[in-house]
């Protein structure tokens, strides 16, 4: 086995440490920190790139800490646990800075120098996740996937999950009914309901449910106090049972002056870090800076995470989303808030935007919160729809950089790029970007 020592030059997208071997080949190493020296073993290699894992830390960073989770070296998540938390925040900012500079686009390079804000940290460093999804592999092991594998690391306790979820998981593992149900399950989700302080179990079955399954699920819900309900779903059949989750969003002066209730259906999307979600919403509201004269368009609006709060001040809000359950929740959330200035439309976002543009409709403020793949081929239409400000919320900085370059071509100017740490202990980064229309390009 050939081992090589590497000096870590910087951290890059994905959380890897970048180094070069003696032949100058780029080497990406997991579990390291900038300026460390490590002895590593290559596990993947081609002519341009190789990936490695560290065997020994020869010279450790002062920011290196002992990971708190026993599963750290095997589980595929939480790949920043070896860093102290202040450094995690700096590392995420550095990774975005590196992406901006390496883009080669002069406006993005300039943004790296003057428009990139400090990462907003999380008060909760652990036990912040409101939802976890566990897999069941071919050996019936319940857990998270190992790194670079479809085999599972058995999990009875997750450092990132809320304690209620961990307590419920332990109770499930000890229950005979659960052991029967997991034989027919490929994955499951445990979701903490902030409203009831209980946990919902969502089972993804590989087969249709039988009467015996319903009986087992009922026994689970009756026997485990923390368990609110059990829902069964699969690829070819609808959920058995139903439930709704909700949380309260406190007033965010000067944008909102009352507590808002946001609900969503089990299986629907909601940010897993609810405390940081409040910071995310506040940042979006600050950037939007709407008045009673502003018309707002919220693309990929989901269950109204931003729409409902913005509607408290805006003249009108139109939310567009392709998922039916999300639109149902958005309408309900706006109704609960007593709003009459919102419209929510179920339609693929690109098609909906093209239709709005063809009709000549324009909006003072446009929000875009796309999935991880970003919003390719939407820049031109966004330029037609936006008169003042565009706010782009991103969960993947690489696709964000790509989309920003396209937006610059259509007269948008980057004002601020704000990273928010929604996922402590991991390399994942949420960003909120404020862009304005350049009047000369209208």
Q: At 374, list the tokens.
A: 């970003």
Q: Round to whole Å and give the CA distance between 342 and 264.
A: 17
CA angle 159–169–30, rounded 5-degree value: 35
108: nearest Cα among 435, 408, 418, 365: 408
Task: Return the HEC string of 301-363.
Answer: CCCCCCHHHHHCCCCEEEEEECCHHHHHHHHHHHHHCCCCCEEEEECCHHHHHHHHHHCCCCE
Contacts for 308 with CB less than 8 Å, ≥ 6 apart = 260, 262, 330, 333, 334, 337, 339, 342
Q: At 395, list the tokens.
A: 């969960």
Instruction: Assign 41 to helix, strand or coil.
Output: strand
| Catalytic residue flag (residue 395) | yes
Q: What does DSSP assign to residue 410?
A: T
435: nearest Cα among 420, 416, 421, 419: 416
Considering the candidates 158, 301, 353, 395, report the single residue annotated as catalytic. Answer: 395
- Catalytic positions are 395
């Amino acid at each position: 086995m050939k081992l090589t020592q590497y000096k870590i030059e910087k951290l890059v997208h994905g959380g890897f440490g970048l180094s070069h071997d003696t032949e100058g080949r780029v080497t990406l190493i997991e579990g390291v920190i900038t300026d460390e020296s490590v002895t590593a073993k290559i596990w993947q290699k081609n002519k341009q790139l190789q990936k490695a894992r560290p065997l020994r830390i020869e010279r450790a960073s002062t920011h290196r800490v002992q990971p708190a989770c026993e599963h750290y070296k095997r589980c595929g998540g939480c790949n920043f646990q070896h860093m102290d938390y202040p450094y995690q925040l700096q590392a995420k900012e550095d990774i975005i800075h590196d992406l901006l500079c390496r883009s080669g686009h002069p406006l993005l390079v300039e943004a790296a120098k003057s428009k990139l804000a400090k990462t907003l940290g999380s008060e909760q460093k652990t036990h912040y996740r409101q939802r976890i999804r566990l897999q069941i592999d071919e050996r019936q092991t319940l857990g998270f996937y190992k790194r670079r594998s479809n085999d599972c690391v058995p999990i009875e306790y997750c450092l990132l999950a809320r304690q209620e979820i961990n307590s419920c998981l332990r109770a499930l593992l000890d229950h005979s009914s659960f052991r029967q149900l997991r034989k027919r399950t490929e994955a499951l989700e445990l979701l903490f309901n902030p409203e009831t302080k209980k946990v919902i179990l969502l089972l993804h079955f590989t087969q249709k449910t039988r009467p015996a399954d319903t009986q087992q699920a009922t026994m689970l819900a009756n026997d485990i106090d923390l368990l609110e309900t059990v829902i069964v779903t699969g690829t070819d059949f609808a959920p058995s049972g139903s439930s709704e989750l909700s949380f309260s969003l406190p007033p965010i002066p000067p944008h909102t002056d009352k507590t808002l209730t946001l609900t969503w259906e089990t299986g629907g999307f909601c940010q897993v870090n609810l405390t940081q979600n409040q910071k995310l919403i506040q940042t979006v509201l600050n950037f939007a800076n709407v008045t009673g004269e502003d018309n707002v368009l919220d693309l990929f609006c989901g269950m109204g995470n931003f729409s409902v709060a913005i509607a408290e001040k805006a003249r009108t809000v139109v939310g567009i989303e392709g998922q039916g359950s999300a639109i149902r929740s958005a309408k309900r959330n706006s109704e609960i808030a007593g709003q009459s200035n919102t419209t929510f439309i179920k339609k693929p976002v690109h098609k909906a935007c093209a239709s709005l543009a063809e009709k000549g409709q324009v909006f003072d403020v446009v929000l875009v919160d796309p999935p991880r793949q970003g919003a390719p081929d939407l820049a031109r239409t966004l330029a037609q729809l936006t008169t003042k400000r565009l706010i782009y919320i991103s969960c993947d900085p690489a696709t964000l950089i790509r989309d920003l370059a396209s937006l610059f071509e259509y007269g948008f100017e980057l004002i601020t790029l704000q990273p928010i740490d929604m996922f402590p202990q991991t390399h994942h980064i949420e960003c909120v970007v404020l862009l304005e229309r350049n009047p000369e390009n209208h």
